[in-house]
Amino acid sequence: MEILLPKKSNGSPGEKLSSRTVTVIGANGAGKSSFGVEIARQIKEHAFWLSAQKALCLMPPHEVWPGSIEAQYKEAIDRSHYVSKETPTEFDQLLFLLLSEEFRNLFSYKFEVQKGGHVDLPKTRLDRVQRLWERIFPKNKMLRAEGKLLIQSEDSEPFNPLRLSSGEKAVLYYIAGVLYAMPDAVILVEDPEFYLHHSILKSLWDSIESLRKDCTFIYLTHDIDFAASRVESTCIWVRSFDAEHLTWDYEFIHDDDSFPEGMYLDILGSRKPVLFIEGANTGSIDVKLYPYIFPEYIVKPLGGCNKVIEATRAFADLKEIHHLESRGIVDRDRRTEREVEYLRSRHIYVPEVAEVENLLMLEGVIRAVARRMKRNENKVVEIVKNNVIQLFAQEIESQALLHTRHRIRRNLEYQIDRRFNDITSFEDHISHLTDDTDVRGLYNSICSQFRSFVKNRDYRSVLKVYNQKSMVTNSNVCNLCGLANKDKYLRVILSILRDDRPEAESIRSAIRACFKIDKTEENEVKEEKKE
């Protein structure tokens, strides 16, 4: 749905925005909530407000918005004798709305069965809530007994949902709440991270968004962790609010921009490790993929590999100030094992594949997509491997030349960087720089190595050295999985990861293993998060 943004402080009118998810971020007191209220007033009957912080507390008299949970509850009271009028909070009202619908559907079902007709038991909102709730909290079960909604956890007797923790209530409120939004609603969520543990933020809201694909979600938050988790969202940074003139100082955080300095400083207070990556915008594979593979980090794209290396080093140098762990990821780009080990010693991960596109060609990833698309995974993998190895065999000489150029260039750089006492010594060194360089011998050695990969059908080694951005397309993996192109192939991978489907762990394990992240390193990051 098209949204009209509020007026800006500089006098320019608010622009129209079409986006399924919008994240409005700003410091406490900057005017985020007022920003959301102004949007809601513009769209009127399409606005649906959710706030767990307010829903779990007794609220003073206030305006009841049409279509809100409270408005729907008041309508239910007028038409139902079995809806309690003792509902002090919006959370209570939501529970009774769920049970009211449950009773109505059961009565209808009983009536149809008595008429002798064959009908299926109707699916209710509570059924959908239960499904997602038990996925988020697998040790908790929802029970319907004697006209009541009960919760049962391990080693406990069933209990009233009102006895849940604030965090558990918030999850239940958000899941159920979005199901009561009107069709094509703009759902404004105030402080979506409130009461919730950061470990479930991303998966929870990804799942909630999938419940209402017809709706637009606008998040109003001050939490950088949450903002970073909405990787495909339009992000708006609200700096300040002029209440007298109803104007705001705000700007878009564009795809090809890193966070502005003010927001970057907010990262320091997030207490979450930072992962710097090469991607320059939300359209790059790195930016789309890595937040799902490394959920324990804030993933921050910086563009080129040199910026990643520099930022990781600089962040580490200031660790005594911010106490945050930082890591980097760069493409392999024909680096030697010596270069890779050097980078790893500086906390920069280098994958065991030539470039990020090759991660999509890992056997574990291909198998996961094939299973998701109901294809014969063994057949798909075998054909793809054959195709990739054949493609590589046709390009051995050109690929070997690229690797030779890289190694010679790096070797020359190392030698030039040596220290000299005078210009004469340096001049003499330069004139004999290539005397001991056997270019042809190095090239032949690399060719021989590459040919052995083909002869031995060493697929993983081919992925490690083969730089070819058209590999996904030319391998025919997309068609074999029933997908039209590389973009659709990637979308399926992201969908599996986002919805945490059964194949998700297969993809994560395959990619994480490619970075050789051992348990010691994982534990270091976990300990850092606890401090």
CATH 2.60.40 is right for the domain spanning 2-253: no
Mean pLDDT of 270-282: 73
Model pLDDT for residues 505-528, shown as the tens digit of each residue: 999 999 999 988 754 455 555 554
Q: Which residues contact 468 (CB under 8 A, 6 or more apart)?
A: 391, 392, 395, 474
Task: Please state the domain extents for the chain.
Answer: 2-253, 354-425+437-514
Return mean pLDDT, the chain: 84
N- to C-terminal Cα distance for the chain? 43
Cα 127 to chain centroid distance, Å, stands at 27
Question: What values do phi and psi take at 186, rounded to 5?
Answer: -100, 105
The better pLDDT of the pair 415, 471 is held by 471
Length of the chain: 531
pLDDT band with cut points at 50, 70 and 90 for residue 281: low
Nearest to 27 by CA among 246, 257, 269: 269
C-alpha dist (Å) from residue 89 to 53, 60, 80, 167, 203: 11, 10, 19, 16, 27
Cα separation, 273 vs 287, whole angstroms? 16
Cα separation, 27 vs 56, whole angstroms? 23
Instruction: Look at residue 262 in the predicted model and tell me its pLDDT.
Output: 42
Percent of the chain at pLDDT > 70 equals 86
Residue 330 has, within 13 A of its CA and on its CB side, a CA count of 23
Q: CA 229, 232, 234 angle in degrees (round to 5)? A: 100
- 139-148, 255-264, 298-307, 434-443: lowest mean pLDDT where? 255-264
Instruction: Match 């129209």 to its residue by tokens.
Output: 16
Instruction: Look at residue 519 in the predicted model and tell me its pLDDT.
Output: 47
SS3 246: coil
Q: Which residues contact 170 (CB under 8 A, 6 or more apart)?
A: 52, 56, 194, 195, 196
Cα separation, 350 vs 526, whole angstroms? 21
Task: Please check the confidence at residue 267 and state whether its pLDDT lies above 60.
Answer: no
Contact indicator for 361, 384 with CB cutoff of 8 Å: yes
Task: Please check the confidence at residue 388 and state whether its pLDDT lies above 60.
Answer: yes
Cα separation, 292 vs 516, whole angstroms? 17
Instruction: Look at residue 278 in the predicted model and tell me its pLDDT.
Output: 87
Mean pLDDT of 266-280: 67
Cα separation, 442 vs 65, whole angstroms? 74
Range with the largest mean pLDDT of 199-208, 347-356, 378-387: 378-387
Residue 240 has, within 13 A of its CA and on its CB side, a CA count of 6
**Beta carbons within 10 angstroms of residue 366's beta carbon:** 25
Alpha helix stretches (DSSP H) within 115-140: 125-136
Instruction: Match 């606005």 to its residue by tokens.
Output: 47
Give the start-end residues of each E strand in 28-185. 47-50, 140-145, 148-153
Task: Please check the confidence at residue 119 and state whether its pLDDT lies above 80.
Answer: no
Mean pLDDT of 61-66: 79
Nearest to 295 by CA among 347, 232, 354, 231: 231
Nearest to 1 by CA among 236, 187, 186, 189: 186
Instruction: Match 């039209």 to its residue by tokens.
Output: 484
Instruction: Look at residue 422 in the predicted model and tell me its pLDDT.
Output: 76
Mean pLDDT of 82-100: 80
Alpha helix stretches (DSSP H) within 149-297: 166-179, 198-211, 224-229, 261-267, 285-293
Residue 215 has, within 13 A of its CA and on its CB side, a CA count of 24
Contact indicator for 96, 89 with CB cutoff of 8 Å: no
